[in-house]
Structure 1
Amino acid sequence: MPPSTARAVIDLDVTGPTISKHLYGHFAEHLGRCIYGGFWVGEDSPIPNEGGLRLDVVEALRALDIPNLRWPGGCFADAYHWRDGVGPKQDRPVMVNSLWGDVEENNHFGTHEFMALCELLGAEPYVNGNVGSGTVQEMSEWVEYLTRDGDSPMARLRKANGRDQPWKVPFWGIGNEAWGCGGHMRADTYADLASRYATFLHNHDGNELYRIAAGAADDDLAWTEALMKAVSCLGCTSRPRGIFQAVSFHYYSFAGDGISKGSATEFTDEQYYRTMVKAADIDRVIAGHSAVMDAYDPQRRVGLVCDEWGTWWEAEPGTNPRFLYQQNTLRDALVASLHFDIFHKHAARLRMANIAQTVNVLQAMILTDDDGGLVLTPTYHVFAMNKGHQDAASVPVHLVEKPAAVTVGDDGLDPLSISASTKDGKVLVSLSNLALDTDTTVRLDLRGRAVTAARARILTADEPQRHNTSAAPDAVAPADLAVTLRPGALGAAELVAVLAPHSFTTVELDLA
């Protein structure tokens, strides 16, 4: 098809809400080979490790500036009892992970191992507590065990298990998917239960908890409203009650046939575009939840958290279908880049997001094998190229000329997505060309600040099905992209970039 053109105006001297670094969060569940065989190989493994934690995985994630890590689930959280995972490893009871493959786990990766992982990563821990099969006391004591100093019962137990000083653990999830695997509850039932749990999750020794109530599936706005009613009233102007500080929701993308349908690597053009339509619809979903929350919390003191997002395909042939191991193509990477543009747009309300999941499960950053092999996925590269947005001030982008929408059944898809932010004298612009077979020449009118230099990187391949393997680890990898920076009208600068089909590009600008 002939190339298309687009023009956008970026006001470099006008800044909006800060894009929280926690929008680039991650998720590690006891599921398949995410923990055992992914993060954890054990102290006796020939694979280089520190205390059993796989060091090549840690090194790769540190390069992303990973801000937080959610654990132990997911659905697994509501079956996990934390006391089984502390103390001498030889004394820890074996458990059956009936949710994910009906496999036995030795509990060698528990609370201390997770905290050691977070310390190696430089990430803040996000602990998801057990509401479904646990008790208020159990979760309250877990908070005390992790965060309290002094001579309390749980502090003494932690010290007996080898850790004298408490940790800082800011993020606490109050159960998971209470509408489903977390208990099949009604919204009002869970709202009451979450309020009770949150009441007994205490701040200890300066560790201030950010309590996250388990929220909706997709666009279930009634669930969000039930949670907001627990902390505020319709039209209230007073501060919401500080029972929990955020509500969550989960959102997965697929080709229209439902979760866990279709191959990760073999798909048609129609399936590609249907996936992009589903991914783009998270904009409407976030806007809906935000509107409900605005009615009860116009000052936006309660945060919205998307603590599970990503693509969900059929498991790779020959693998345990309950381990949710899937390959990761350029299509998945573009789902991620599109999501981040939308997350940036909603930064005033959206405080955290966690891709599902980090290693070997669903839309992973990293794929490993038991022989020490490691592959960085196309999605990993999107996180790496975009990390300059973390804790940067959003910058408005006005798309004044755009390519024609792509017709996808009864839907239309805008094939060009752009977001921008500024921090430390630089601007980062992210551009996704979702069109399968059309180059797009983009002109960026850069106004309000002088631009002295521009550098660009592009992530693309000859087809969106392309993915990385141990035999071809760089089949989809970033490359430098030549762009043109020249004076524009009225003292502005103009940048021209040609975006290849099905590509993700970032442009870094130096400001005078």
Structure 2
Amino acid sequence: MKNSGRHRKLVSYRQHIKKFLFFFLCIFAASSLYAQAVQITLSDTSHEKISKYIYGQFAEHLGHCIYDGFWVDANLNVPKKDRIRLDVVEALKKIQIPDLRWPGGCFADQYHWSDGIGDRSKRPQRVNTSWGMVTEDNSFGTDEFLELCKLIGCEPYIAGNVGTGTPQEMEDWLEYLNFNGKSTLADLRRKNGHDAPYNVSLWGVGNESWGCGGNMTPEFYANLYKRYAEFCKNYPGTSLKKIASGANSDDYHWTDVCMKDIPLRDMWGLSMHYYTVVNNWQHKGSATSFDESEYFKGLKNCLHIEDLINKHSAIMDKYDPQKKVALAVDEWGIWTDPEPGTNGAFLYQQNSLRDALIAASTLNIFNNHCDRIRVANLAQTVNVLQSLILTDKEKMLLTPTYYVFDLYKKHQDATLLPLQFTSPQYTFGNESIPAINASASKDSTGAIHITLVNLDARKKITVNAAMPESSMKKSSGEILTSKKFNDINTFEKPYKVKNEIFSDFKTNGKTLSVNLPPMSVVLITLQ
């Protein structure tokens, strides 16, 4: 009996030990899924506006962006005006895109605008030597593009031809577009169906002149820019925002030469292009089949854009301390290998949750640098690179990146609210990046909008924000997330990754507390 009692006590003791160890392991496992809380302070002292043009888009004569994207076969059974696809138009209207850049890209410097006006049956057929050696029938030209912009409700941003064009050609194009008086070119516009001038303001003087736009040196381009810009006239009612072709990624010398050699009064903006490539330009990485290593590298390379912005801005500050010249990041986004089985020259890629996180992080960076960045254009809008929209004949889907722009439209033309915080690190292997990025703004009604991104693939992170005001009576939240970083929307399952109502936050006086799931984009609105 005594031995039996001792045995029962020993069994009971061991069971208690097991329960304790199990409880300890549960606590440890749970703690490993949470990073430390982030303390954010919002300032209400800024007067900087987040330009709506930061949310611009890009449409090039490349692959199926224009043809079979915006501009479809007359017999395709979808709603359309002329051949402009209206479900695509409606989707872009919903996210309030402010401008659309066209016709390129590399195509811009081989495009002659007079090929794309008038009777379509008489327009010349050309070879698109930039993208796949396919026939360009010029059925989509200047007037079709301007009609597309009118339907969307956005401004046109036209990139003029410096590579194979002439100053005379650029001058003529602007007269056709913007002159309201009596002239042969203005009358030609009227004959082609548009009596009033288009009043195009955003104007690129060339594209990637360091590469596909002419393989120029910055010194040569700066002189050429001055020649072309001289003939880009301000017609009554329209003041041109002339944007010079700027640097490729980290070519700081190009920025220095342009800022030094081009009179600031002749340049509204200077561009900079940067693409997120996971591995290298020969093997960029898959759009869908990637592990956490490539997920991490993609995010790290995305965040590098802030280093580029800081260094290019510092150079611009030397010559333009008042920040009159905008830094225009008019091509950006993730560039992966084309989808297997597609034409490699058409740059068709799928779009995952990772890409949405890259878009959200980039837009947060742009917002926080809105004193210098006043134009940006995602590459590209439909069926090319980091698309907002994918189409397949009658079918259309919205990508995870589209839903980011839907969340972030609240920031357009709102006043920046600067943020101060130290992010916990997302560590993979021997490398770390900030797990959290964010931006905030106050709109014209006084509502505050905060966009928060958690890049960590495993950990939830709590963000506590000290608010500048305590009079907010209403609050709401939306979230974009999914179970896997390579989750995508397909034509079979088009809504796998989309925005949802978010409620895992609370407000208390001047304090906002938000619990961010791993791999998530969250919008909090306070009114």
* TMscore range, shorter length: over 0.9
Q: Give aligned pairs, total.
A: 495
Select the residue among 403, 426, 447 that pairs with 2:424.
403
Measured in 1, the distance between the counterparts of 2:473 and 2:270 equals 42
**TM-score, structure 2 normalization:** 0.92
Partner residue, 2:357: 334
Measured in 1, the distance between the counterparts of 2:206 and 2:312 equals 19
| Corresponding letter in the other structure for 1:64 | I
| Corresponding letter in the other structure for 2:512 | L
Q: Does 1:375 align with 2:397?
A: yes
| Paired residue secondary structure (2:467) | strand
Measured in 1, the distance between the counterparts of 2:338 and 2:70 equals 20
- Please list the CA deviations of residues 175-214 of structure 1 after superposition, one character each: whole Å capped at 9, or x if unmatched: 1111100010001000100111011000112111000000
Q: Does 1:35 align with 2:66?
A: yes
| Corresponding letter in the other structure for 1:224 | T
Contact 1:459 1:478 in 2 (8 A): yes
Alpha carbons of 1:294 and 1:438: their partners in 2 closer, same or farther (altered >3 Å)?
A: same
Alpha carbons of 1:15 and 1:255: their partners in 2 closer, same or farther (altered >3 Å)?
A: same
| Paired residue secondary structure (2:513) | strand
Q: Mean Cα displacement is larger for which, 10-19 or 196-205?
A: 10-19
Q: Does 1:455 align with 2:476?
A: yes
| Paired residue secondary structure (1:84) | helix
Partner residue, 1:90: 121
| Paired residue secondary structure (2:452) | strand
Q: Does 1:141 align with 2:172?
A: yes
Structure 1 residues 118-267: aligned runs within 5 Å: 118-232=149-263, 240=264, 242-258=265-281, 261-267=284-290
| Paired residue secondary structure (1:35) | coil
Larger Rg: 1 or 2? 2
Partner residue, 2:435: 415
Partner residue, 2:411: 389
Q: CA deviation at 1:285?
A: 0.3
- Please list the CA deviations of residues 433-463 of structure 1 after superposition, one character each: whole Å capped at 9, or x if unmatched: 0001111122122233422222111111110
| Corresponding letter in the other structure for 1:159 | R
Partner residue, 2:519: 502
Measured in 2, the distance between the counterparts of 1:368 and 1:493 equals 45
Alpha carbons of 1:310 and 1:115: their partners in 2 closer, same or farther (altered >3 Å)?
A: same
* Structure 1 segments unaligned to the other structure (5+ residues): 233-239
Q: Does 1:355 align with 2:378?
A: yes
Where has structure 1 moved over 6 Å in runs of 4 or more?
Answer: none
Measured in 2, the distance between the counterparts of 1:41 and 1:2 equals 48
Measured in 2, the distance between the counterparts of 1:425 and 1:52 equals 41
Measured in 2, the distance between the counterparts of 1:175 and 1:260 equals 29
Partner residue, 2:6: none
* Structure 2 segments unaligned to the other structure (5+ residues): 1-31
Q: CA deviation at 1:509?
A: 0.7
Partner residue, 1:236: none
Partner residue, 1:445: 466
Q: CA deviation at 1:272?
A: 0.6
- Please list the CA deviations of residues 40-92 of structure 1 after superposition, one character each: whole Å capped at 9, or x if unmatched: 01444332100110000000000010100000000000010000000011110
Q: CA deviation at 1:260?
A: 5.8
Partner residue, 1:429: 450
Q: What is the aligned-residue RMSD (CA, Å)? A: 1.4
Measured in 1, the distance between the counterparts of 2:324 and 2:283 equals 36
Measured in 2, the distance between the counterparts of 1:31 and 1:261 equals 19
Partner residue, 1:107: 138
- Please list the CA deviations of residues 102-130 of structure 1 after superposition, one character each: whole Å capped at 9, or x if unmatched: 11121110000000000001100000011
**TM-score, structure 1 normalization:** 0.94
Percent identity over the alignment is 45
Measured in 2, the distance between the counterparts of 1:257 and 1:83 equals 38
Measured in 1, the distance between the counterparts of 2:113 and 2:429 equals 47
Measured in 1, the distance between the counterparts of 2:486 and 2:371 equals 35
Contact 2:279 2:285 in 1 (8 A): no
- Please list the CA deviations of residues 244-271 of structure 1 after superposition, one character each: whole Å capped at 9, or x if unmatched: 2110010000213237621100111111
Bigger helix share? 2
